[in-house]
Amino acid sequence: MLKKVSIAVIAIFLLTSCGDDNKNASHSDNKDTPHNDNSSKSLKEKIEDLEDQGRLPKLDRSSSIAGPDENNNGVRDDIEAYITKNYPDEKQKKALFQAAITMQSMMLANITDPMSIKEAIIKLSRSSNCIVNVFDITKGAEGSGVYEKIEAMSVNTKARLQAYINFGKAMDGMVLVSPEGDTCE
């Protein structure tokens, strides 16, 4: 799972790390161009517009790997807001919170400490199994890509992506055992 950095992760990373490339672009000499023409906006402005419209989740882009967590529940506030808004079912919400906490533990793990890596791997296998069971992915339920969404949202900055990649390198060669039964917390 960690070996494959999903296209969504790369796309979100590229979108969030882009500067204001089109900032100096101007269409003022074209009288037919509407004032709110989307083509004159920078990529960053276009993303902000999509966030404002609710078509993309508003994600924290601070330099902190952990990001803001006002209620100290281990889930970044922006990801918590997304889960709460889009998954009203309590079991699904808890499973996704567990996945978000797992992503945080992987990015914040001490990659020089084998026990820290092992603990994060155990959390990963337990949360993955929980997602599969709660969303019944084997039957093609709507939840088949939910873990990947949380993963992509979690690694939405260069620093977070680098921490995620470093964790993947640190766990290289370690075995991920798929647990059975109810592993939801």
What does the pLDDT profile of the chain (185 residues) look like in tens digits?
A: 444 444 444 444 444 444 444 434 444 444 444 445 567 888 878 888 888 887 888 898 999 999 999 999 999 999 999 999 999 999 999 999 999 999 999 999 999 999 999 999 999 999 988 998 888 765 555 556 888 899 999 999 999 999 999 999 998 888 777 888 889 98
| 8 A C-beta contact, residue 29 and residue 50 | no
- The pTM is what? 0.73
Q: In the chain, where are the structural domains located?
A: 7-19+41-170
Which residues have a Cβ under 8 Å from the Cβ of 130 and sit 6 or more positions away? Answer: 95, 98, 99, 182, 183, 184, 185
Which residues have a Cβ under 8 Å from the Cβ of 49 and sit 6 or more positions away? Answer: 38, 41
Query: CA 179 to CA 128: how far, in whole Å?
Result: 9
| 8 A C-beta contact, residue 165 and residue 112 | no
